[in-house]
Amino acid sequence: MNYALIGCGRIAVNHIKAAINNNLHIVAVCDVKPEAMENLLAQYHLEKNMSIQRYTDYKKMLEEKKPQLVAIATESGLHAQIALDCIDQDVNVIIEKPMAMRMVDAEEIIQRSKARNVKVCACHQNRFNNAVQETRSALETGRFGKLSHGSIHVRWNRNRNYYTQAPWRGTWAQDGGCLMNQCIHGIDLLRWMMGDEIEEVYGVTKRQFHEYLECEDVGMAVVKFKNGAIGTIEGTTEGLPHIGVNTTFLHPKIKLDYYFARDYSERSACYDELKNYDFVKFLGIVEWSNEGREIYQIPESIIEENHARRFITQPQKEFIHWDTEHYPVMGLGSIIFGALHFALFTMPKQIFLVGCDCSADGHFDGSTTIDHSSVPLFVDSWNWVKTFIKRYYPKIEVISINPIGLNGVFRDVYTENYLNAHPEIARSECEILSDCYPYLKED
Protein backbone atom coordinates (compact mmCIF):
# COMPACT_ATOMS: atom_id res chain seq x y z
CA MET A 1 0.00 0.00 0.00
CA ASN A 2 1.37 3.41 -0.98
CA TYR A 3 1.59 5.63 2.08
CA ALA A 4 2.29 9.32 2.63
CA LEU A 5 2.68 11.44 5.75
CA ILE A 6 1.54 15.05 6.07
CA GLY A 7 3.19 16.85 8.98
CA CYS A 8 6.66 15.91 10.24
CA GLY A 9 6.67 17.36 13.74
CA ARG A 10 6.92 15.85 17.21
CA ILE A 11 4.36 13.04 16.81
CA ALA A 12 5.32 12.10 13.23
CA VAL A 13 8.02 9.66 14.34
CA ASN A 14 5.31 7.30 15.59
CA HIS A 15 3.60 7.33 12.20
CA ILE A 16 6.76 6.56 10.27
CA LYS A 17 7.59 3.78 12.71
CA ALA A 18 4.10 2.28 12.26
CA ALA A 19 4.39 2.51 8.47
CA ILE A 20 7.72 0.66 8.53
CA ASN A 21 6.48 -1.99 10.97
CA ASN A 22 3.46 -2.66 8.76
CA ASN A 23 5.53 -2.86 5.56
CA LEU A 24 3.83 0.11 3.92
CA HIS A 25 5.45 1.67 0.88
CA ILE A 26 6.34 5.22 1.96
CA VAL A 27 6.10 7.27 -1.22
CA ALA A 28 6.14 10.81 0.18
CA VAL A 29 6.37 13.06 3.22
CA CYS A 30 5.11 16.61 3.43
CA ASP A 31 5.84 19.56 5.70
CA VAL A 32 6.13 23.32 5.26
CA LYS A 33 9.60 23.04 6.82
CA PRO A 34 12.02 21.01 4.64
CA GLU A 35 14.37 20.44 7.58
CA ALA A 36 11.56 18.77 9.52
CA MET A 37 11.19 16.14 6.79
CA GLU A 38 14.90 15.43 6.69
CA ASN A 39 15.22 15.23 10.48
CA LEU A 40 12.32 12.78 10.63
CA LEU A 41 13.63 10.51 7.89
CA ALA A 42 17.12 10.56 9.38
CA GLN A 43 15.82 8.93 12.55
CA TYR A 44 15.13 5.81 10.48
CA HIS A 45 18.14 6.17 8.16
CA LEU A 46 15.88 7.15 5.27
CA GLU A 47 17.36 10.58 4.56
CA LYS A 48 19.20 9.24 1.49
CA ASN A 49 16.19 7.40 0.15
CA MET A 50 15.19 9.57 -2.78
CA SER A 51 12.25 7.32 -3.66
CA ILE A 52 10.49 9.05 -0.77
CA GLN A 53 9.43 12.31 -2.37
CA ARG A 54 9.52 15.49 -0.27
CA TYR A 55 6.72 18.05 -0.60
CA THR A 56 5.86 21.35 1.03
CA ASP A 57 2.41 21.42 -0.63
CA TYR A 58 0.18 18.50 0.34
CA LYS A 59 -2.31 19.14 -2.48
CA LYS A 60 0.47 18.78 -5.03
CA MET A 61 1.59 15.59 -3.27
CA LEU A 62 -1.93 14.11 -3.48
CA GLU A 63 -2.16 14.96 -7.15
CA GLU A 64 1.27 13.63 -8.15
CA LYS A 65 1.80 10.60 -5.89
CA LYS A 66 -1.83 9.47 -5.51
CA PRO A 67 -1.22 7.56 -2.26
CA GLN A 68 -3.71 5.00 -1.04
CA LEU A 69 -3.28 5.98 2.62
CA VAL A 70 -2.31 9.29 4.19
CA ALA A 71 -1.54 10.02 7.83
CA ILE A 72 -2.21 13.58 9.01
CA ALA A 73 0.07 14.76 11.84
CA THR A 74 -0.05 18.53 11.52
CA GLU A 75 -1.20 21.01 14.14
CA SER A 76 -4.73 20.19 15.25
CA GLY A 77 -6.49 23.08 13.56
CA LEU A 78 -5.46 21.87 10.09
CA HIS A 79 -6.64 18.26 10.50
CA ALA A 80 -10.17 18.68 9.18
CA GLN A 81 -9.44 20.53 5.96
CA ILE A 82 -6.54 18.27 5.01
CA ALA A 83 -8.68 15.20 5.74
CA LEU A 84 -11.50 16.50 3.54
CA ASP A 85 -9.06 17.22 0.71
CA CYS A 86 -7.71 13.68 0.98
CA ILE A 87 -11.20 12.16 1.02
CA ASP A 88 -12.11 14.15 -2.10
CA GLN A 89 -9.14 12.43 -3.80
CA ASP A 90 -10.46 9.01 -2.64
CA VAL A 91 -7.53 8.59 -0.25
CA ASN A 92 -7.95 6.65 3.01
CA VAL A 93 -6.97 8.75 6.03
CA ILE A 94 -5.43 8.32 9.48
CA ILE A 95 -5.97 11.53 11.44
CA GLU A 96 -4.03 12.41 14.57
CA LYS A 97 -6.22 13.40 17.49
CA PRO A 98 -8.33 15.44 17.51
CA MET A 99 -9.86 14.66 14.13
CA ALA A 100 -11.34 18.18 14.04
CA MET A 101 -11.70 21.27 16.20
CA ARG A 102 -15.43 21.65 15.57
CA MET A 103 -18.26 19.12 15.57
CA VAL A 104 -19.52 20.38 12.22
CA ASP A 105 -16.15 19.55 10.63
CA ALA A 106 -15.98 16.10 12.26
CA GLU A 107 -19.49 15.29 11.01
CA GLU A 108 -18.57 16.47 7.53
CA ILE A 109 -15.54 14.15 7.49
CA ILE A 110 -17.75 11.21 8.48
CA GLN A 111 -20.47 11.98 5.96
CA ARG A 112 -18.14 12.66 3.05
CA SER A 113 -16.04 9.54 3.72
CA LYS A 114 -19.19 7.40 3.69
CA ALA A 115 -20.33 8.97 0.42
CA ARG A 116 -16.99 8.25 -1.28
CA ASN A 117 -16.44 4.86 0.43
CA VAL A 118 -13.21 6.05 2.02
CA LYS A 119 -11.92 4.72 5.33
CA VAL A 120 -11.14 7.27 8.07
CA CYS A 121 -9.39 6.45 11.33
CA ALA A 122 -8.80 8.83 14.25
CA CYS A 123 -5.69 8.08 16.31
CA HIS A 124 -6.80 6.68 19.65
CA GLN A 125 -3.98 4.19 19.93
CA ASN A 126 -4.31 3.80 23.68
CA ARG A 127 -7.23 1.47 23.05
CA PHE A 128 -4.66 -1.07 21.91
CA ASN A 129 -2.49 -0.95 25.01
CA ASN A 130 -2.29 -4.39 26.60
CA ALA A 131 -3.84 -3.31 29.90
CA VAL A 132 -6.68 -1.51 28.12
CA GLN A 133 -7.35 -4.52 25.89
CA GLU A 134 -7.48 -6.83 28.92
CA THR A 135 -9.85 -4.46 30.71
CA ARG A 136 -12.11 -4.20 27.67
CA SER A 137 -12.18 -7.98 27.28
CA ALA A 138 -13.17 -8.41 30.92
CA LEU A 139 -15.84 -5.74 30.50
CA GLU A 140 -17.33 -7.45 27.45
CA THR A 141 -17.55 -10.80 29.25
CA GLY A 142 -19.51 -9.19 32.09
CA ARG A 143 -16.81 -9.64 34.69
CA PHE A 144 -17.47 -6.21 36.25
CA GLY A 145 -21.24 -6.45 36.29
CA LYS A 146 -23.17 -3.18 36.18
CA LEU A 147 -20.93 -0.13 35.92
CA SER A 148 -21.96 2.60 38.34
CA HIS A 149 -19.33 5.29 37.75
CA GLY A 150 -15.86 5.86 36.44
CA SER A 151 -13.31 8.63 36.24
CA ILE A 152 -10.17 9.78 34.48
CA HIS A 153 -7.44 11.99 35.93
CA VAL A 154 -4.95 13.42 33.44
CA ARG A 155 -2.38 15.51 35.31
CA TRP A 156 0.34 16.41 32.88
CA ASN A 157 3.02 19.05 32.84
CA ARG A 158 3.15 21.47 29.94
CA ASN A 159 5.23 24.50 30.88
CA ARG A 160 6.10 27.65 28.98
CA ASN A 161 8.93 25.93 27.13
CA TYR A 162 6.49 23.40 25.67
CA TYR A 163 4.10 26.07 24.41
CA THR A 164 6.80 28.28 22.93
CA GLN A 165 8.17 25.40 20.85
CA ALA A 166 5.22 25.81 18.47
CA PRO A 167 3.14 29.02 18.26
CA TRP A 168 -0.11 27.11 17.56
CA ARG A 169 -0.07 25.42 20.97
CA GLY A 170 -2.49 26.85 23.50
CA THR A 171 -4.59 28.65 20.85
CA TRP A 172 -8.30 28.09 20.31
CA ALA A 173 -7.98 27.86 16.55
CA GLN A 174 -5.15 25.33 16.37
CA ASP A 175 -4.91 23.53 19.73
CA GLY A 176 -8.13 23.56 21.72
CA GLY A 177 -6.81 23.44 25.28
CA CYS A 178 -5.83 20.67 27.65
CA LEU A 179 -9.11 18.71 27.36
CA MET A 180 -8.99 18.65 23.57
CA ASN A 181 -5.26 18.02 23.25
CA GLN A 182 -3.71 16.31 26.28
CA CYS A 183 -6.81 14.65 27.80
CA ILE A 184 -8.53 13.38 24.69
CA HIS A 185 -7.17 9.83 25.01
CA GLY A 186 -8.43 9.53 28.57
CA ILE A 187 -11.84 10.88 27.56
CA ASP A 188 -11.99 8.38 24.70
CA LEU A 189 -11.22 5.47 27.05
CA LEU A 190 -13.79 6.67 29.59
CA ARG A 191 -16.48 6.70 26.90
CA TRP A 192 -15.39 3.36 25.46
CA MET A 193 -15.44 1.63 28.83
CA MET A 194 -18.47 3.28 30.42
CA GLY A 195 -21.00 3.11 27.61
CA ASP A 196 -19.97 5.49 24.84
CA GLU A 197 -23.33 7.20 24.30
CA ILE A 198 -23.68 10.37 26.39
CA GLU A 199 -26.86 12.04 27.62
CA GLU A 200 -25.53 15.14 29.38
CA VAL A 201 -22.27 16.90 30.23
CA TYR A 202 -21.63 19.77 32.59
CA GLY A 203 -18.33 21.17 33.75
CA VAL A 204 -15.89 24.04 34.09
CA THR A 205 -12.74 25.00 32.24
CA LYS A 206 -10.32 27.67 33.38
CA ARG A 207 -6.87 29.09 32.75
CA GLN A 208 -5.27 29.03 36.19
CA PHE A 209 -1.50 29.39 35.77
CA HIS A 210 -0.66 29.57 32.04
CA GLU A 211 -1.65 33.21 31.62
CA TYR A 212 0.09 33.36 28.24
CA LEU A 213 -2.39 30.90 26.67
CA GLU A 214 -5.77 31.46 25.05
CA CYS A 215 -7.11 28.08 26.15
CA GLU A 216 -7.74 26.40 29.48
CA ASP A 217 -5.04 24.66 31.49
CA VAL A 218 -7.56 22.81 33.68
CA GLY A 219 -10.96 21.30 32.98
CA MET A 220 -13.41 19.40 35.20
CA ALA A 221 -16.59 17.69 34.00
CA VAL A 222 -19.36 15.30 35.02
CA VAL A 223 -20.78 13.03 32.33
CA LYS A 224 -24.17 11.28 32.38
CA PHE A 225 -24.18 8.22 30.09
CA LYS A 226 -27.38 6.97 28.49
CA ASN A 227 -26.95 3.60 30.21
CA GLY A 228 -27.22 5.30 33.62
CA ALA A 229 -23.52 5.34 34.49
CA ILE A 230 -21.77 8.51 35.65
CA GLY A 231 -18.28 9.65 34.68
CA THR A 232 -15.97 12.37 35.93
CA ILE A 233 -13.16 14.01 34.00
CA GLU A 234 -10.19 15.90 35.42
CA GLY A 235 -7.63 17.24 32.99
CA THR A 236 -4.82 19.68 33.47
CA THR A 237 -1.45 20.74 32.14
CA GLU A 238 -0.47 22.22 35.48
CA GLY A 239 1.37 19.11 36.64
CA LEU A 240 5.05 18.81 37.60
CA PRO A 241 5.47 22.27 39.11
CA HIS A 242 9.00 23.57 39.46
CA ILE A 243 9.97 24.42 43.04
CA GLY A 244 13.21 26.30 43.71
CA VAL A 245 15.10 27.72 46.66
CA ASN A 246 17.62 30.46 47.42
CA THR A 247 19.27 31.79 44.24
CA THR A 248 17.91 29.25 41.74
CA PHE A 249 15.44 31.76 40.28
CA LEU A 250 18.38 33.77 38.90
CA HIS A 251 19.47 30.91 36.64
CA PRO A 252 18.47 31.76 33.03
CA LYS A 253 17.21 28.25 32.22
CA ILE A 254 15.14 27.75 35.35
CA LYS A 255 11.46 28.76 35.32
CA LEU A 256 9.89 28.36 38.74
CA ASP A 257 6.31 27.98 39.87
CA TYR A 258 7.06 28.10 43.63
CA TYR A 259 9.99 29.56 45.52
CA PHE A 260 11.25 29.02 49.08
CA ALA A 261 13.83 31.05 51.00
CA ARG A 262 14.62 31.63 54.62
CA ASP A 263 18.17 33.01 55.09
CA TYR A 264 18.64 36.74 54.65
CA SER A 265 22.22 37.48 55.67
CA GLU A 266 23.97 35.33 53.05
CA ARG A 267 21.73 36.17 50.07
CA SER A 268 20.31 39.60 50.79
CA ALA A 269 21.41 40.95 47.41
CA CYS A 270 19.36 38.43 45.43
CA TYR A 271 16.12 39.61 47.06
CA ASP A 272 16.36 42.90 45.16
CA GLU A 273 15.60 40.91 41.99
CA LEU A 274 12.84 38.80 43.49
CA LYS A 275 10.05 41.30 42.82
CA ASN A 276 10.64 40.93 39.07
CA TYR A 277 9.45 37.30 39.06
CA ASP A 278 5.84 36.15 39.18
CA PHE A 279 6.14 32.71 40.82
CA VAL A 280 4.50 32.02 44.18
CA LYS A 281 6.91 32.99 46.96
CA PHE A 282 7.27 31.48 50.41
CA LEU A 283 9.65 33.38 52.70
CA GLY A 284 10.34 31.73 56.02
CA ILE A 285 10.32 32.54 59.69
CA VAL A 286 13.21 30.83 61.47
CA GLU A 287 12.39 29.31 64.87
CA TRP A 288 15.79 29.93 66.38
CA SER A 289 17.27 32.17 69.08
CA ASN A 290 16.60 35.89 69.14
CA GLU A 291 20.07 36.40 67.73
CA GLY A 292 19.32 33.98 64.95
CA ARG A 293 16.11 35.78 64.14
CA GLU A 294 17.99 39.07 63.75
CA ILE A 295 20.62 37.54 61.50
CA TYR A 296 18.49 35.31 59.31
CA GLN A 297 15.03 36.84 59.35
CA ILE A 298 13.89 38.19 55.97
CA PRO A 299 12.64 41.77 56.52
CA GLU A 300 8.92 42.46 56.45
CA SER A 301 9.46 45.02 53.69
CA ILE A 302 10.61 42.27 51.33
CA ILE A 303 7.67 40.09 52.34
CA GLU A 304 5.23 42.88 51.50
CA GLU A 305 6.98 43.95 48.31
CA ASN A 306 6.77 40.41 46.92
CA HIS A 307 3.29 39.58 48.24
CA ALA A 308 4.95 36.52 49.74
CA ARG A 309 3.52 33.84 52.01
CA ARG A 310 5.09 33.12 55.38
CA PHE A 311 6.05 29.71 56.69
CA ILE A 312 7.73 28.48 59.87
CA THR A 313 10.71 26.16 60.00
CA GLN A 314 12.93 24.76 62.71
CA PRO A 315 16.47 24.10 61.49
CA GLN A 316 18.91 21.63 63.02
CA LYS A 317 16.23 19.36 64.50
CA GLU A 318 16.59 15.61 64.83
CA PHE A 319 13.02 14.82 63.90
CA ILE A 320 10.58 15.61 61.13
CA HIS A 321 7.40 17.46 61.98
CA TRP A 322 4.17 15.73 61.11
CA ASP A 323 2.18 18.33 63.05
CA THR A 324 1.74 20.73 60.16
CA GLU A 325 -0.49 23.06 62.16
CA HIS A 326 2.38 24.24 64.32
CA TYR A 327 5.44 23.53 62.16
CA PRO A 328 4.38 23.37 58.50
CA VAL A 329 7.78 22.46 57.06
CA MET A 330 10.88 20.68 58.21
CA GLY A 331 14.27 22.29 58.71
CA LEU A 332 17.03 19.72 58.99
CA GLY A 333 19.75 22.18 58.05
CA SER A 334 18.55 23.27 54.61
CA ILE A 335 15.62 25.08 53.05
CA ILE A 336 15.60 22.27 50.47
CA PHE A 337 13.72 20.14 52.98
CA GLY A 338 11.05 22.75 53.51
CA ALA A 339 10.44 22.92 49.76
CA LEU A 340 10.38 19.12 49.59
CA HIS A 341 7.88 18.91 52.43
CA PHE A 342 5.62 21.31 50.51
CA ALA A 343 5.91 19.08 47.43
CA LEU A 344 4.98 16.00 49.47
CA PHE A 345 1.78 17.67 50.65
CA THR A 346 0.58 17.85 47.02
CA MET A 347 0.73 14.03 46.74
CA PRO A 348 2.53 13.76 43.39
CA LYS A 349 3.51 10.46 41.81
CA GLN A 350 7.15 11.53 41.50
CA ILE A 351 9.45 14.21 42.85
CA PHE A 352 12.61 14.97 40.89
CA LEU A 353 15.59 16.41 42.76
CA VAL A 354 17.85 18.61 40.65
CA GLY A 355 20.93 20.39 41.91
CA CYS A 356 20.08 20.27 45.60
CA ASP A 357 22.54 17.82 47.13
CA CYS A 358 26.02 19.31 47.22
CA SER A 359 25.85 22.89 48.52
CA ALA A 360 23.46 25.48 49.85
CA ASP A 361 22.91 26.97 46.39
CA GLY A 362 22.76 23.70 44.47
CA HIS A 363 24.71 22.68 41.39
CA PHE A 364 23.88 23.59 37.82
CA ASP A 365 25.66 23.95 34.49
CA GLY A 366 27.56 20.69 35.00
CA SER A 367 29.30 21.77 38.20
CA THR A 368 30.62 19.01 40.44
CA THR A 369 31.84 21.25 43.25
CA ILE A 370 30.80 19.93 46.64
CA ASP A 371 30.60 21.82 49.90
CA HIS A 372 32.25 19.02 51.89
CA SER A 373 31.34 20.62 55.20
CA SER A 374 27.62 20.57 54.31
CA VAL A 375 27.20 17.30 52.44
CA PRO A 376 27.47 14.94 55.45
CA LEU A 377 24.78 16.93 57.25
CA PHE A 378 22.64 17.02 54.13
CA VAL A 379 22.99 13.29 53.45
CA ASP A 380 22.19 12.44 57.06
CA SER A 381 19.11 14.63 56.80
CA TRP A 382 18.15 13.10 53.46
CA ASN A 383 18.19 9.67 55.07
CA TRP A 384 15.79 10.96 57.71
CA VAL A 385 13.62 12.30 54.90
CA LYS A 386 13.78 8.98 53.04
CA THR A 387 12.49 7.18 56.15
CA PHE A 388 9.75 9.79 56.54
CA ILE A 389 8.63 9.45 52.90
CA LYS A 390 8.64 5.66 53.09
CA ARG A 391 6.46 5.79 56.21
CA TYR A 392 3.97 8.52 55.31
CA TYR A 393 4.15 8.80 51.51
CA PRO A 394 4.96 5.25 50.28
CA LYS A 395 3.45 5.82 46.83
CA ILE A 396 5.64 8.82 46.00
CA GLU A 397 8.81 8.06 44.04
CA VAL A 398 11.79 10.37 44.62
CA ILE A 399 14.41 10.58 41.88
CA SER A 400 17.81 12.30 41.98
CA ILE A 401 18.87 13.71 38.61
CA ASN A 402 22.66 13.86 38.14
CA PRO A 403 23.33 13.36 41.86
CA ILE A 404 26.67 14.41 43.30
CA GLY A 405 26.53 14.25 47.07
CA LEU A 406 23.32 12.22 47.21
CA ASN A 407 24.26 9.09 45.29
CA GLY A 408 22.45 5.99 46.38
CA VAL A 409 19.86 7.54 48.69
CA PHE A 410 17.04 7.66 46.13
CA ARG A 411 16.79 6.44 42.54
CA ASP A 412 19.64 7.99 40.54
CA VAL A 413 19.19 8.92 36.88
CA TYR A 414 21.50 10.85 34.58
CA THR A 415 21.11 13.04 31.53
CA GLU A 416 23.04 12.33 28.34
CA ASN A 417 24.68 15.75 28.42
CA TYR A 418 25.90 15.24 31.98
CA LEU A 419 27.40 11.83 31.23
CA ASN A 420 29.07 13.16 28.09
CA ALA A 421 30.68 15.89 30.19
CA HIS A 422 31.82 13.40 32.85
CA PRO A 423 33.44 10.36 31.21
CA GLU A 424 34.69 9.23 34.63
CA ILE A 425 31.13 8.09 35.41
CA ALA A 426 30.50 4.51 34.25
CA ARG A 427 27.66 4.94 31.76
CA SER A 428 26.89 1.22 31.73
CA GLU A 429 25.97 1.41 35.41
CA CYS A 430 23.69 4.42 35.03
CA GLU A 431 20.00 4.83 34.34
CA ILE A 432 19.35 7.42 31.62
CA LEU A 433 16.72 10.11 32.16
CA SER A 434 15.29 9.91 28.62
CA ASP A 435 14.85 6.14 28.94
CA CYS A 436 13.20 6.22 32.36
CA TYR A 437 11.11 9.39 32.05
CA PRO A 438 10.79 10.29 28.35
CA TYR A 439 8.30 13.09 29.06
CA LEU A 440 11.08 15.12 30.74
CA LYS A 441 13.49 17.19 28.69
CA GLU A 442 17.12 17.60 29.67
CA ASP A 443 16.96 21.38 29.60
CA 193 to CA 189: how far, in whole Å?
6
265: pLDDT strictly greater than 70: no
Asked whether 236 and 158 are in contact (CB, 8 A), the reply is no
Amino acid at 258: Y
List, for residues 205-238, the tens digit of each pLDDT value: 999 878 889 999 999 999 999 999 999 999 998 7
363 and 405 assigned to the same domain:
yes
* Total domain count, the chain: 4
8 and 110 assigned to the same domain:
yes
Q: Which domain holds residue 363?
A: 347-443
346: pLDDT strictly greater than 60: yes
In a domain, 130, yes or no: no
In a domain, 131, yes or no: no
Short-list 384, 209, 382, CA closest to 279: 209
In a domain, 150, yes or no: yes
424 and 436 assigned to the same domain:
yes
333: pLDDT strictly greater than 50: yes
CA 356 remoteness from chain centre: 22
What Å distances lie between residue 57 and 1, 19, 32, 88, 99, CA to CA?
22, 21, 7, 16, 20
297 and 362 assigned to the same domain:
no
Structure confidence at residue 266 as a pLDDT band (50, 70, 90): low
210 and 272 assigned to the same domain:
no
In a domain, 437, yes or no: yes
432: pLDDT strictly greater than 50: yes
167 and 275 assigned to the same domain:
no
State mean pLDDT over 342-346. Answer: 79
Query: What is the chain's length?
Result: 443
State mean pLDDT over 91-112. Answer: 96
CA 108 to CA 104: how far, in whole Å?
6
- State residue 318's pLDDT score: 45
Domain boundary residue among 304, 339, 374?
339
CATH number, domain containing residue 212: 3.30.360.10
323 and 382 assigned to the same domain:
no
155 and 268 assigned to the same domain:
no
List, for residues 116-173, the tens digit of each pLDDT value: 999 999 999 999 988 899 999 999 999 999 999 999 988 787 877 778 888 889 999 9
- State residue 345's pLDDT score: 76
In a domain, 129, yes or no: no
Helix (H, G, I), strand (E, B) or coil at 95: strand
Dihedral sign of CA atoms 385, 386, 387, 388 in order? positive
119 and 197 assigned to the same domain:
no
In a domain, 245, yes or no: yes
Helix (H, G, I), strand (E, B) or coil at 412: strand
Amino acid at 230: I
In a domain, 413, yes or no: yes
Domain boundary residue among 289, 307, 339?
339
- State residue 360's pLDDT score: 45
CA 339 to CA 245: how far, in whole Å?
7
CA 105 to CA 85: how far, in whole Å?
12
- State residue 370's pLDDT score: 58
Q: Which residues make Cβ contacts (< 8 Å) with residue 136, sequence separation at least 6?
A: 127, 192, 193
97 and 39 assigned to the same domain:
yes
218 and 247 assigned to the same domain:
no
Question: pTM value?
Answer: 0.62
CA 332 to CA 222: how far, in whole Å?
44
